[in-house]
Amino acid sequence: METIYSCLRDAHDQDLLWIAALVCVTGVYASISLARHASRVEGNSRKAWAAVAIVSSACTAWATHMVGLLAFQPGMQAGFDPLLTLMSLLLTIIGISASMGTAIGSRNRLRRAGAGLLLGLSIALLHYLGQAAYLVTGRVTWNVQLVALSLAWSLPLFAAAMVLSGDKRNSLRHLAGPLILSAIALLHFAGMAALELTFDPRISLPESALPPDVVAPIVAAVCAALVVLAFMGLRFALAARAQAIRDRSRLKQLADLAVEGLAICRDGTIDAVNGSLATLVGCSQQDLKGRTLSSLLPDTPLSKLSEHQEQDGELFTNDGTRVPVRLLRKIVKIGNVDQTVVAIRDQRERLRTEQRMRTLAFTDALTGLANRLQFNQILSANCEKANATEERFALLLLDLDRFKFVNDTFGHAMGDELLKRVARRLSACCGSTTSIARLGGDEFAIIVDEELAQDTAETIIDVLGRPYLIDGSIMDIAASVGIAIGPADGSNPSVLSRSADLALYTAKHAGGSVYRRFEREMRERAQARRQLELDLRRALVREEFEVHYQPQVDPGDGRFQGAEALVRWRHPERGMVPPADFIPLAEEIGLISPLGEWVLRTACEQATGWPSHLTVAVNLSPVQLRDSALAARVMQILQDTGLPGSRLELEITETALLQDEETTYNTLHALRAMGIRISMDDFGTGYSSLSYLRRFPFSKIKIDRSFVRQVPEDQESVAIIQALTSLAAKLNMTVTVEGVETAEQRAFTVSEGCNQIQGYLISRPIESVSIRALFNEPLQSVA
């Protein structure tokens, strides 16, 4: 050490030594920056710049060494062997290339250490060859021990430097440069100190030796070239940095544009975040920098995050709320460094939308109650539970009486408001554990414990029947309730619903505002009804209907005036079915129109076979009367059958007049214009509104049989018949009394001046063949 130090102090020109150091630093910088540049560019220029970097590094080593030699003051004349000097440079270039070639792209430490040794060797070679090229006028002796020592110390340093330069850790990588510099310095100065020169005038420099004056400019030129290269390197580095900054800001802009939150992390610490994440967390991007990722995602360790599949997590925001998020981790190379990017997507909006869609799908938009879909699920669940535990529950189906009327009269908006209030009242009637649903229209369903069923039904009927005051109108509706008990009345939803439905049907038929529990007979009755319905639908095609006729006579002289046509159904198995059993059903299932038309046509046809002064009376149902095409149809039938309109009488009941007065009015007048007479049937049983008699063109009133039954004993009945007869006379109408069964009754009608009678006293309804025979008898009367 002592020798090295004294050699440095005494044997060197201090200024030149500084220059050597400067050249070394400049050259190293040039080499490194050019090498970096090479790594940034691509293709051929990459190779070219790599070569330049290698040559420049070799030149650096060489020039440093040469300046060092020039700085050496051996105290005698010195010169340089040109060949060896050149060789030292070339060998260094080759050595460094080989070393770099070995090291590049490899992280293998052994290999890098090998490359380091190679580098050390080539620099050592440069050194000792260079020294061998240094000629003096004296004797040269080597301190072999020092040479060996210099190699033994510097070579491991080179190896270590190469290994470090390939390390992942920045701090260690930065150690590589100084290490190489110190290795070079060690090699150089130890080498110089190992050299002992003894002046010997007998030894002269060979001819070929180049004096320092010649070598110095060459070295200076190389140094100048290195400076130029260093500048180029600097420019490249600056340009690259500017580019990197541009890239980064563009990347940042892009990241900030992203809807997802992005966090770039290193070792679990946040390096940078985009705007979205900062907004999501509720602070600035700057605030998030340096925080740990686990402070945002405490439940999701970074290592648990998948690189391929999104997973759910919870983000803790600054105000303490937990935001449901989807998370994805990606390792991304940013610059040259691998970094972890965590993508964080806010799920609140999506979850809200999903929730809204679920709500929409499962609730009735108008009332907010459960809808049919949800109710079916609830009912299924209840059925399953009931089957498993034998725990019974009640299904209540309810239906509003008169709702349709309100809806039609007051409009849909009012109907909707009413439904909303009904829903609210239902909720008030039932406990919070009860499930209430609107199945559609004015149908609701409720599930309650079995023991509460009847009370609940009663309460519902009471509460829903209370008046509704809406915008100054009073609305009265009522509810009918059908109750079925699961699993007794049905162990699956469809059977149970069907049972409740049958109970509801029965409740409605009982007049409404009542509840009914399901009973087995209901099923049988419904079955029978369904069968009858099927039979009825087929009956028209199978020609099972017949028209029977009940003659009408003048009570005074007993002469025939005509007959009332009455429909009969001859069922193939049951025989004659009474009209009361099938006419309401035909009305309900929409069969009354075709049936009525068939009766009309048949009656007209058969009446043409009667003496021409006799009339035929046919009943019209309310449904037929509501049809605005009725008049045209009747006209067609008259034409087809050839019956004059004056021989046809159409009987209508008061209830038929209640609906749609306008159409009815027009139809009746059109019929009247064809000469057809219109009679008011069953007068005295319904509203018996006298205004109808005035408004519509009736030519006849038929007094209901119930009044005649009690004449002449019952004073009230007598009075009514008397009043009606005189009223009819004043209104220019005739009067027919139905249901005359006794001679006394007939006498009474005669005395009261009734125009026509009909009843068992004369004849019960008989088949068409019989009536024809009766009418064609020569006597023509029943006296």
Partner 1 sequence: MPLYRLLYRSEIALNGSKDQIDHQIDQIVSASEQSNHLSGLTGALIASGGVFIQALEGPLGALEATFEKICLDLRHKRVNLIELAAAEERIFPEWSMIRVAQGAQMIEICTVVGVRESGRLDTSTTSALVSLMRNILLTKSAGSLDNEVAAGASAAIRLPDR
Residues carrying an active site annotation: 738
- For residue 594, give the nearest of 543, 662, 640 by alpha carbon: 543
Rounded-to-integer distance, Cα 610 and Cα 605, Å = 10
Write phi, then psi, for 341 (nearest 5 degrees): -110, 130
**Residues with Cβ within 8 Å of residue 556, at least 6 apart in sequence:** 750
Can you list the pairs that 772-777 forms with residues at least 24 positions away whose Cβ atoms lie under 8 Å? 772/606, 772/609, 772/610, 774/551, 774/560, 775/551, 775/560, 775/563, 775/610, 775/611, 775/614, 776/610, 776/611
Task: Kindly state the helix (H) or strand (E) to which residue 394 belongs, with its residue range.
Answer: strand 393-401
**Which strand (E) or helix (H) includes residue 636?**
helix 630-641
| Residue number with CB closer to partner 1 (429 or 496) | 429
- The 3 state secondary structure assigned to 506-560 is HHHHCCCCCEEECCHHHHHHHHHHHHHHHHHHHHCCCCCEEEEEEEEECCCCCEE
Binding positions for partner 1, rule: CB under 8 A: 421, 424-425, 428-429, 459, 462-463, 466-472, 474
Query: Closest CB to partner 1 among 428 and 632?
Result: 428
- Cβ 654 vs Cβ 692: under 8 Å: yes
* 400 versus 668: smaller Cβ distance to partner 1: 400
Residue 362 or 468 having the CB closest to partner 1: 468
Given the complex with partner 1, which of 421 and 438 has the nearer CB atom? 421
Question: Rounded to the nearest whole angstrom, what is the least distance from the CB of residue 410 to partner 1 in the complex?
Answer: 15
Q: Are 481 and 460 in contact (CB under 8 A)?
A: yes
Minimum distance between the CB of residue 429 and partner 1, rounded to whole angstroms?
7
Q: CB of 462: closest distance to partner 1 in angstroms?
A: 5
Q: In the complex, what is the shortest distance from the CB of residue 423 to partner 1, in angstroms, rounded to a whole number?
A: 11
Buried b (16+ CB within 10 A) or exposed e, 183-205: bbbbbbbbbbbbbebeeeeebeb
Nearer to partner 1, 139 or 424 (CB): 424
Q: Which two tokens stand for residue 24?
A: 């070394």
The CA distance from 488 to 500, in Å, is 12
**Which residues lie below 8 Å from residue 136, measured CB to CB, with a gap of 6+?**
74, 76, 77, 78, 79, 197, 203, 205
Looking only at the bridges linking them, the beta strands covering 195-199 and 138-142 are: antiparallel
Half-sphere exposure of 127 (CA within 13 A, CB side): 24
- Dist. CA 209–CA 337, nearest whole Å: 52
Q: For partner 1, give the closer residue by CB, 263 or 422.
A: 422
Q: Examine residue 487 and say whether the peptide bond preceding it is cis (omega within 30 degrees of 0).
A: yes
Give Cα 695 distance to the centre of its chain: 60
Nearer to partner 1, 159 or 429 (CB): 429
**Closer residue to partner 1 (CB): 128 or 515:** 515
Q: Which residues contact 645 (CB under 8 A, 6 or more apart)?
A: 638, 674, 675, 676
CB of 467 to partner 1, least distance (A): 4
Residue 421 Cβ vs partner 1, minimum distance, rounded to whole Å: 6
Apex CA 392: angle with CA 391 and CA 396, to 5°?
150
Of residues 416 and 640, the one with the C-beta less far from partner 1: 416
Give the 3-state secondary structure of residue 290: coil
Number of neighbours of residue 424 by Cβ within 10 angstroms: 13
CB of 451 to partner 1, least distance (A): 18
Residue 96 tokens read as 């460094």
C-alpha distances in Å from residue 52, one per residue of 35, 45, 125, 501:
8, 10, 21, 96
Please identify, using beta-carbon distances, which residue of 479 and 496 lies nearer to partner 1: 479
Least spacing, CB of residue 404 vs partner 1, in Å: 22
Nearest approach in angstroms of CB 457 to partner 1 is 14
Cβ neighbours of 588 (radius 10 Å) = 11
| Rounded CA separation 384/389 (Å) | 9
3-state secondary structure of 505: helix
In contact, 73 and 11? CB cutoff 8 Å? yes
The angle at the Cα of 572, spanning 566 to 573, to the nearest 5 degrees, equals 115
Nearer to partner 1, 125 or 463 (CB): 463
Residues 483, 514: Cα–Cα separation, whole Å? 11
